[in-house]
Amino acid sequence: MINLELPQKLQNTRQMTHQLAESVFRPISRKYDRIEHCDTPEELHPVGQMAAGMRGGDGKKSGGDEVKNGANLQGIVSVEEMCWGDVGLMLSIPGQGLGNAAVQAVGTPEQKEKFGSLYCAMAITEPEAGSDSAAVQTTARLDGDEWVLNGEKIYCTAGQRCDAVVIWATLDKSQGKAAIKSFIVPRDNPGMKLVRVEDKMGLRVSDTAAFSLIECRIPYDHILGSPEIAQTEEERKKAFGGVMQTFDNTRPQVAAMALGVARAALEMTREILEKEGVAADFSKSLYNSSALEAEIYRMEADLDAARLMTWKAAWMADNGQANSKEASMCKAKAGRTGNAITLKCVELCGEAGYSEEQLLEKLARDSKIIDIFEGTQQIQQLIVARQQLGLSSSELK
């Protein structure tokens, strides 16, 4: 029998994280949305210290090879609750950068030990390489016992505030995606210059940076994983697949961001409508309900479906199962659902939805980017189609 409930341990995690979101994030959400460019909010420093002590799941095996209550599902539950409070503040917690997932995905045990405690951002996107990660133009060449990086990176989340940046670069453009590697570059490296911090529609408290890398030198051991370029086609697929494994871990987390934002909007909408005498209590069938009640029922159903897909992708990762398709499926579903729900909630609540007296308009602004970063809606659908049809990236573009 399938059990769709969280185990008690994760219910406790959910409750504690919700209290954090409710008591710390929600009260300062509007404040930092208006400030935008600022240092890390002072309210988040103790949160970062607490998160560092709690990071990761137990990962212990029980009942054969099955892993119970692993780190991925625990992270998903925590992310949804924190983003119920404020997704931009969640992304601004010190020490919680997307680059940390890359270190864990492709780093050696020694690298995980060395770099695991750093606050790592991740820089993939370039002016000419967005959704197509294999089109990275930033180069890395070996000069003695140092790597030298040259290129430009944009839309790097936490790039201004982090300790280090995981830079995607190619060792040989002629070798295609097999030559793309990840490099750890300390934030204060003189060869990596901060060009600008973006002004944005949503997630305004979260810094989004652009960098230029000009003869940027880093030690030899700052390349994550093997420096060798795969030669055979099978080795090439495996090599780039290892780099892309980062997304298999982070896409469900991005899906969880959408879940938290959408749930917050839906709960606010129900409260506002109930004050006007519209209570969607599920006591009537869809076709015997008012138009407003029916909209809420549909949104609740979509949100639950997205959540179950996200939990499945995380559970598969915790149990050592390949989850690339499921990671893309949940990211596509949750990203689209989150955006649709927040916009519909603004519409249903009218003036209250559009006014800054409520957080609904902010949630709608914040939700849009979740459907875009970590791979757009279109890219996720393409990945799922390739997996379903058994076709390669060259066979299905």
Whether 261 contacts 29, CB under 8 Å: no
How many structural domains does the chain have?
3
Model confidence band, residue 229 (pLDDT cutoffs 50, 70, 90):
confident
Are residues 216 and 159 both part of a single domain?
Answer: yes
Of 101, 127, 157, the last residue of a domain is 101
Q: What is the DSSP letter of 359?
A: S
Question: Range of 93's domain?
Answer: 8-101
Are residues 212 and 288 both part of a single domain?
Answer: no
pLDDT value of position 100: 87
Are residues 153 and 210 both part of a single domain?
Answer: yes
* 353 in a structural domain: yes
CATH number of residue 238's parent domain: 1.20.140.10
pLDDT of residue 227 exceeding 60, the answer is yes
Encode pLDDT of 105-140 as tens digits. Answer: 888 899 999 998 899 999 999 998 877 777 899 999
Are residues 95 and 156 both part of a single domain?
Answer: no
Of 101, 128, 156, the last residue of a domain is 101
Please tell me whether residue 217 adopts helix, strand or coil conformation.
strand
Encode pLDDT of 333-354 as tens digits. Answer: 999 999 999 999 999 999 999 9
Question: Angle formed by the axes of helices 71-85 and 291-318, to 10°?
Answer: 150
* 67 in a structural domain: yes
Question: Angle formed by the axes of helices 360-370 and 26-35, to 10°?
Answer: 70
pLDDT value of position 360: 97
Are residues 292 and 238 both part of a single domain?
Answer: yes
pLDDT value of position 339: 97
pLDDT, mean over the chain? 89
Residue 372 backbone class (left: φ over 0; alpha: ψ -120 to 50; beta: rest)? alpha
Are residues 289 and 385 both part of a single domain?
Answer: yes
Token pair in block for residue 19: 């209290």
Are residues 143 and 88 both part of a single domain?
Answer: no
Of 197, 232, 267, the last residue of a domain is 232
Query: 192 forms bridges with which residues in the sheet?
Result: 213
Model confidence band, residue 58 (pLDDT cutoffs 50, 70, 90):
very low
Are residues 223 and 240 both part of a single domain?
Answer: no
CATH number of residue 127's parent domain: 2.40.110.10
Are residues 225 and 263 both part of a single domain?
Answer: no
Q: What's the angle, vertex CA 238, arms to CA 376 and CA 145, rounded to 5?
A: 100
- Positions annotated as catalytic residues are 374
Are residues 331 and 289 both part of a single domain?
Answer: yes
* 113 in a structural domain: no
Whether 338 contacts 302, CB under 8 Å: no
**For 282-301, b where at least 16 C-beta lie within 10 A, e where not — what string?**
eeeeeeebeeebbbbbebbe
* 70 in a structural domain: yes
Are residues 125 and 165 both part of a single domain?
Answer: yes
Token pair in block for residue 252: 């469900």
- Quick one: which of 291, 331, 293 has its CA closest to 309? 331
pLDDT of residue 240 exceeding 70, the answer is no
Are residues 66 and 133 both part of a single domain?
Answer: no
Whether 148 contacts 159, CB under 8 Å: no
Please tell me whether residue 33 adopts helix, strand or coil conformation.
helix
Encode pLDDT of 372-392 as tens digits. Answer: 988 899 999 999 999 999 998
Residue 374: CB atoms within 10 A of its CB come to 26
* 396 in a structural domain: no
* 81 in a structural domain: yes
Higher pLDDT, 228 or 160: 160
What is the Cα–Cα distance from 217 to 129, expressed in whole angstroms? 23
